[in-house]
Amino acid sequence: MLKATTDVAVPAAAAAVDATNFVTASHASVEALKTANLLKSLSVNALISGERGVGKKKLAQYILPNAPLYSAEDFDELITEIQSSSEIIITHVEHSPNLQRIADEIEKSDIRVIATCSRNYQAQVLDELFDITIELPTLSEREEDITVLIEHFKKEAESIFGVQDTFAFDAAHVDLSANASSLRRQLFLHYLLADVDESDLMELLEKYLYDKLGSNNDYREFLHLYEVPLIRAGLKKFRSQLKLASVLGLNRNTLRKKIQENSAYQFDD
């Protein structure tokens, strides 16, 4: 059985948007497409590993575009599908309640399988079952792809929300905690809030606070919802604590104290 571990990157959108839905801005992304095209022509089973939002499912669907997709958590449905299909995509294999049973059914069936799992997940049964393993790096390891993804998600958001925004989204301050998933969410929130006025903001806060209020210290507990964005916005705009303290009518030491009290949140100065 041939074994190959390929360290390649597969982002979630394309530099030139096409049927692949992959970014091709970085060398790693180009190599990913080459690997995927090779797998399309081979009748072998492959495992794709990586963190959330790196493109595991998209790569699997590119390799097997007509295959049904099942989560390993849906155990009974998955077993039935393995027994009756010629090809299948299995996601989240690390969450299977009985990975050995799935492997046994695949071995007994004449079926082509592409599966996905979390990064660094290891199990001997997977090593025995899959001919090729591909590990997809995080988006932070593919810096060339971030700018392309930002532009792609901006266009997607503009078409959905009907809002044109010329803002320069700083690639150094994007949310990559869940790779492309969190980046897309961050941009969509920006566009969603683009036309929000004062009453909309208060309504959002009201809905957020309604189910959370109930202790005798709630005023101080939720004061950061006002103070943190106010200080963040001021530091970004004025680039100086001294200037911001003056604008807010605060003593500089008072401003410093408020920043320290909210030190769990990131402030740029």
Residue 123, domain CATH: 3.40.50.300
| 24 C-beta neighbours (distance < 10 Å), count | 19
Tell me: the pLDDT tens digits for 1-10? 334 444 443 3
Same domain, 96 and 129: yes
Q: What was the pLDDT predicted at 12?
A: 35
φ and ψ at residue 236, rounded to 5 degrees? -65, -40
Q: How many residues does the chain have?
A: 269
Same domain, 200 and 177: yes
Same domain, 166 and 202: yes
Q: For residue 267, with 0-12 CB atoms within 10 Å meaning exposed, 13-18 middle and 19 or more buried, which class applies?
A: middle
Same domain, 103 and 151: no
φ and ψ at residue 93, rounded to 5 degrees? -60, -25
Q: Which of 141, 161, 178 is the last residue of a domain?
A: 141
Q: What was the pLDDT predicted at 269?
A: 58
Same domain, 107 and 149: no
Same domain, 108 and 44: yes
Q: What was the pLDDT predicted at 160?
A: 87
What does the CA dihedral 216, 220, 224, 227 come to, rounded to 10 degrees?
140
Same domain, 34 and 57: yes
User: Which residue do the tokens 């575009």 mark?
Assistant: 65
Give the domain range for residue 13. 4-141
Domain count, the chain: 2
Q: Is residue 230 part of a domain?
A: yes
Q: What was the pLDDT predicted at 29?
A: 78
Q: Is residue 269 part of a domain?
A: no
Rounded Cα distance between 260 and 130, Å, is 51
Q: Which of 119, 141, 163 is the last residue of a domain?
A: 141
Strands of 112-117's sheet, edge to edge?
4-7, 132-135, 46-49, 112-117, 87-91, 69-71
Q: Is residue 266 part of a domain?
A: no
φ and ψ at residue 194, rounded to 5 degrees? -60, -35
Euclidean distance between the first and the last CA atom of the chain, given in angstroms as a whole number: 56
Same domain, 58 and 149: no
Q: What was the pLDDT predicted at 22?
A: 67
In DSSP terms, 88 is beta-bridged to 113
Same domain, 129 and 41: yes
Q: Is residue 185 part of a domain?
A: yes
Same domain, 188 and 253: yes
Same domain, 157 and 245: yes
Could you tell me where the beta strands, DSSP code E, fall in 101-144? Answer: 112-117, 132-135
What is the chain's pLDDT, residue by residue, as a tens digit (269 residues)? 334 444 443 333 334 334 346 677 888 777 877 888 899 989 999 999 999 998 889 889 999 999 999 999 999 999 999 999 999 999 999 999 999 999 999 999 989 999 999 988 888 888 889 989 888 889 999 888 888 889 889 889 888 888 776 667 776 789 999 999 999 999 998 888 877 888 988 998 999 999 899 988 899 899 999 999 999 999 989 999 999 999 999 999 999 999 998 888 877 65
Same domain, 93 and 127: yes
